[in-house]
Structure 1
């Protein structure tokens, strides 16, 4: 059965009632219990509890309860949250008191038919590969005759300590004096009653959308991308608000809309927040980004005299470097951000609050602040995403060929360097680059492009597609290239 349970970059996710069943949840819970027993409870150590949380997804609360009962039956102390909670909130709870970490039942921004389990160790960041490997090694350990007892499970509420930590991190006094008018789309997520509450307490006039639990997410996706934020865009424009904010299903990712109703990508926001921390707070430290994140961040680091570290895709790598280096800010192009002095886990609530704080400090709109930053940097980069739909076999063949013989030029620009940290990254002249990454779990090759102007980026994309077509013709396979996002 363990072949059905596959841990990706952020835990195990599967379709409810197909692979995500009570039986498989018990298997994962048992494996988790074995890991806790061998790691936290060995050699007579105190039996610290494993925390269990869940988001607003269908049956997530029931799955969380069964998980906790499995652990307690094994002799592993466990307790469950009183209501659905944001992932960063329960992550914070792992270091608020001695714990063996937390299991969060969430599929984050995936479609509503999915649920998932994510393990957050006691250091409040994503589990690293070595930890995940140890858990996976126990997936077949649950005995056939093991029976989960219908025991009473202790409950707890991690909200107050988490909110207190945000009040220490964010300058709410500054926000209070700015008289901002903000739109907030909860997207039916766990962030309702967190982000909106803190902004209202600071005197912000908040217009709230979709702040109730709906396991179907209003027929859309709990993902803060432009196509799912149309109600927020309309509200910002109609009510002439200063900005619109949003989080994903478990509130660990974020997005924003400027005063004109224009979508601001995570790449934009990561750069703005980096500038804010340096300019308005005088902070210094290494900046951590993934291999797929904008290189405009590199230019800012050069301007401010900061080191930067590039990691593989996945916030577990960003979080690990933030812990090891005491980084200033760490982020990824998909919307995950954390900062110095906070947990090494992505936090969409914190990131949105920091964005509002930035507006209060600057006394300007987000679009005006962006233009200031671009002028200071002397550079603006265009970012594009696309996916190649290929069979797993063809995907492997393409990547093998590209690794053996990388492209030497694209749209007349020579390839000056080839990076192999995660997939294949082709560095071109004039700030252009291309990243090719196989999905690993889906029949997709993920493509990332960045350059100094739209025309050049589109030429690079077109030439790349032509060269890939020639390679795939040898495999008798025709790819489907789809635009994934425009950042």
Structure 2
């Protein structure tokens, strides 16, 4: 097999965000060598590239199969020894992390734009995970960006073509090297890992004895095959328990984001009261939403806190000592109360799973989560949607209660952190910048400190306002300006930040977190009612409606 060196022109916009390089699909399709340039840039940043093993897979969205073929040709030409590829190109992000760790691979290339829409007019993304199975740190992605800006050529072996629809091993001679492509079932290894963590027999018995009616909605993303195998075949649930299970290139025209807006079909079905537990996953399977009977919504913040408080219901945590918990800064402090009660270390990090990975690798933390529907543990180095669902089934079986009853019991012990997030998507970048500049100016002059903010008959005293700065306790690295925080004297918070996961414009996110004690008479009131005053205060302080031109958020979670 011959290796060719193709001349190319560098691009100036290939800077990876929190989760890789996400762009509109048309960017990858229409700009010559755009994909090839970025893959070559990744490979050039890998230490020990020649002779290494990489895992490659994606969420099944439009272009995944084509980009896998390109990745095979470029990897072969750059001296990679082996690629492990999911059949049909399908591998969930948690599965990739598990495969990297199981087979001691150097890293993995994941083709996904996560919860963003797919199809020719949707989004596409490429990200790199390192040897621990987690997302590449900023130092690595910065290096990719620097290489991409000056790249003049890429290496490719155009003669290689692999049937990725059929399981099997393929061997090629490239120059003096042997290049192997193993096409594997993307589900098997992941299911084996889940069996090591959870007591499948106990969960199966519980589902059967309670005649539990489940609804697992994969939103036509990658999790369909995993849900069918685990929920139906392994745990014995009825085949109707798994819906939208066929991965589609455009996710069936939907938005594969498991929240109350984009998974509305599931929410409506749960409100009918005929189903006991509903779960939705995002496009690449790392996010999850839990819905109880009658449409009872389990917020991701509460989900993390409940799993932490009941971690002993999971065999993995009975075998492996739990050493600490962590959450992203915007996530509510619900899990903090559990950590204090259990005497566990608690870490607050910037948004991005790579920060959790450092803590896990250092043995400082075992369980973590983000308010953006991501929960996970140290079994891998990614958030894991199916893991979270199985954790909930374990807890329900252990307590023999409904999801709502579990949450109510939790609130009566720890109190309630009432939480919501307002997303203003695809705001003009300049307008979004003005919102953050206004907030940063208030930090600079400290004009809000000590002020009393009043809305809907409630008053709050501003105690602190800053832009979150994180010093990693493991390697000492510093992450600046990770989100504007406004803390009030009663423990309530407002957080503002720009999201790095969109492919165009900017997403402004406003997070609202208010704590109610376990004896507060409004403990079980609707979250919207409890948080209404803080929402109004947040909109007034940030001036989002006027500066963004948006009178309503795109999504409320």
- How far residue 221 of structure 1 moved from its aligned partner, in angstroms, is 0.3
Which residue is equivalent to 1:382? 418
1:161-209: CA deviation from partner (whole Å, max 9, x where unpaired): 2221110001112102202321111111111121231122123345121
Contact kept? 2:273, 2:294, Cα under 8 Å: no
TM-score between both structures, scaled by the size of structure 2: 0.79
Deviations 1:192-249 (A, max 9, x none): 1212311221233451211112222222201111222233234445572220111100
Question: What's 2:347 paired with?
Answer: 309
**1:425-440 map, 5 Å:** 425-439=485-499
Higher relative strand content = 2
- Aligned residue for 2:362, secondary structure, equals helix
Distance of 2:498 and 2:243 partners within structure 1: 36
Matches within 5 A, 1:2-401: 2-19=11-28, 23-36=33-46, 39-41=47-49, 47-79=51-83, 80-83=85-88, 84-112=90-118, 113-140=122-149, 142-144=151-153, 148-153=157-162, 154-157=181-184, 158-178=186-206, 179=208, 180-200=212-232, 201-205=234-238, 207-238=241-272, 240-278=274-312, 284-340=322-378, 342-377=379-414, 379-387=415-423, 389=427, 391-392=429-430, 393-395=433-435, 397-401=437-441
Residue 117 of structure 1, CA deviation: 0.4
Given that 2:324 and 2:365 are in contact with CA atoms closer than 8 Å, whether structure 1 keeps it comes out as yes
Unaligned 5+ runs, structure 1 = none
Gaps of 5+ in 2: 1-9, 163-180, 469-481, 517-521, 523-527
* C-alpha displacement of 1:310: 0.2
Task: Pick which of 368-377 and 201-210 moved more.
Answer: 201-210
**CA apart distance, 1:25:** 1.2
1:415 to 462, 465, 474: 462
* Partners of 2:53 and 2:61 in 1: CA distance: 24
Give the drift of 1:466. Answer: 2.6
Paired position in structure 1 for 2:532? 458
1: CA distance, partners of 2:529 / 2:264: 27
Distance 1:31 1:156 in 2: 24
Distance 2:420 2:263 in 1: 19
- SS at 1:53's partner residue? strand
User: How large is the Cα RMSD of the aligned pairs?
Assistant: 2.5
CA distance in 1, matches of 2:441, 2:147: 36
Structure 1 contact 68–78 (Cα < 8 Å) conserved: no
**Aligned-residue offset at 1:486:** 4.5
Whole-Å separation in 1 of the counterparts to 2:17 and 2:434 = 21
State the aligned residue count: 475
**1:57, 1:106 within 8 Å by CA — same for their partners in 2?**
yes
How far residue 145 of structure 1 moved from its aligned partner, in angstroms, is: 7.6
**Could you tell me how far apart the structure 2 residues matched to 1:202 and 1:22 are?**
47
TM-superposed CA distance for 1:273, in Å, is 1.2
Structure 1 pair 456–272 and aligned structure 2 pair: CA distance change class (3 A): closer
- Measured after TM superposition, the shift of residue 95 of structure 1 is 1.5
Q: Quote the Cα distance in structure 1 between the aligned partners of 2:298 and 2:107.
A: 33
